[in-house]
Structure 1
Amino acid sequence: MTKMAHEIGPLLKELREAEELTQARLYQNVLSRRQAIRLEAGETDIKAEHLLTLLDRLDMALPEFQYRLQKRQPQVAPPTPQTAMLDTVAAKLNTWLDADMTPGEVRAMENFALGRPFFTVNQIKTLMTIAARLPWDAYDRLTKKLAAQLADMADMPGVQRLRYTLYFNKTMFSLLGGLPDTALRLVPQAQALASDRMDDQIMLQFLQRMAETLVTKDPAAVYAATEGLITHLRGLGLAMMADSLIDNRRHMLSSVNLHPRWTPAELGAAARLFAIVPWELKKDRQGYLAKFPGLLAAAGQPLSAYRDVY
């Protein structure tokens, strides 16, 4: 979409508000409520015949609208306290998903996520970053709402990737939250939207194998089903991705009380991952490490001693 196309909707919004027209009245029988919101947010274009209908309702000729569009200076709305706080939360969680959050940030996140009937694409991107810190019931309700809205925009550029990410994340968080049966139901939805990228295919294989073996309640089967993928990643030089899978596997096993003990490989992966996390976003480092069941006892020495253990 061209820059000019991005500005048609915002200009229509300015003209509508100047005429004191509601969205329902201006866009009646032309656009749905969701389509109108997306248009006025500058996220979609509009067909020429629909634009002419709207201009007729605004009592404005096309040449005048074109003139105003060319002269228009894009208006940037000042952030509200809530959106400013959400931006802060998203920035922190983009850096590290386990970053500390204040009670005010948690409230702002929950109120925004659960109190609105509809979101723009940019808001959906923000929500997909912060949603993992919601309680599961709230996260589940929100992701179902976002899935329905993204399905309505399936033909919009970039939306398929957002839909894939939504289902991939929900599958991952289901496993991390001790819900392998839920993850098994979600894997096919993520697979249907995945690209041919190697990282997509490897991660989906990992999640599928984790879900299939966790429901058997056999830790040995979990390790056997996933070790080959991890070895393959190391062979490709993707050491950090391999460490992430090791740590996620350990977490997923712990979430269903099937993690028997910390293996040397798990201690090594944890040591390397903790060496690069932004600890400035976590006030109580030792308290955070204590939340990893059995980690400090299994290490028996500073975790950094395991950085070269694979």
Structure 2
Amino acid sequence: MTLQNRITRSIIKNRLLYIMLLPGLIYFVLFKYVPLWGILISFQDFQPIKGVAGSEWVGFKHYAHLFGSKDFFMLLKNTLLLSFYNIVFSFPLPIMIALMLNELRHVVMKRFVQTMIYVPHFMSWVIVVGFFFIIFESSDGLFQGILQSLGLNEFSFMLDPDWFRPMYILQILWRDTGWNSIIYLAALTSVDPQLYEAARMDGAGRWRQLWHITLPAIRSTIVIMLILRMGDIMELGFEHIYLLLNPLNRFVAEIFDTYVYTAGILQGQFSYSTAVGMFKAIVGLILVVGANKLAKKMGEEGIY
């Protein structure tokens, strides 16, 4: 039987699975691959009236403009710092939450806690930022009330540049920590209970079982998630930062995502903003490939 016949028979046999695959495949083709041709305008002085075919080619002019801009190092510093804090604080916390939930033996309590920490994820960033604004900024809010009761002057937590990064990380932790723990809880379900029974028979306590059985069982999942997180170092997201951004904290809050919006949408510099996006994509690709190679050298499977 030829290779083509084997492939055809496999497709026919698993046709329902391929039909289920189609919506996701169509989505990626239409919204991820087809728009790739738009990268071309980063090498042009793109004019919407003239289109891609009629616009003037300028080579690496916009990339030179980006790297020579006085804002470039500010944007790079802000993006990398926020990504670093994000990885340091918001990456290990879901793992710890999953480990603690896995140790809960009371089923009702476990489900209640899971539900409560999953709920914030379904709130938009507009609601989350508004919620924090009411708590920290409103004169009738919790923190301003505490300051007043202590005889202290009112203080703006969300407008002070020194508090921007802590508030940003705090909001991410509150909204996404519970949701991000799901994948680790799913990985923990694959651990063979007989391993724990054997460890208990050998005299191992909870901490030793955690260290020698639980963590090694989810190590590959942790590595894969870390590799994927490395690819998002330059991709912090637009909406959250934009809602926190203001003229007072711009020098610590402006990142590439908000800069693309300002340059591309508000100022109409389509070619320049595309060059900025291309720079982000290249850096993300390099980081993913590098992290994957490092993981393989350390004996892990990696993502490919």
Q: Scaled by the length of structure 1, what TM-score is found?
A: 0.21
Q: With CA pairs under 8 Å and 6+ residues apart, which has the higher RCO, 1 or 2?
A: 2
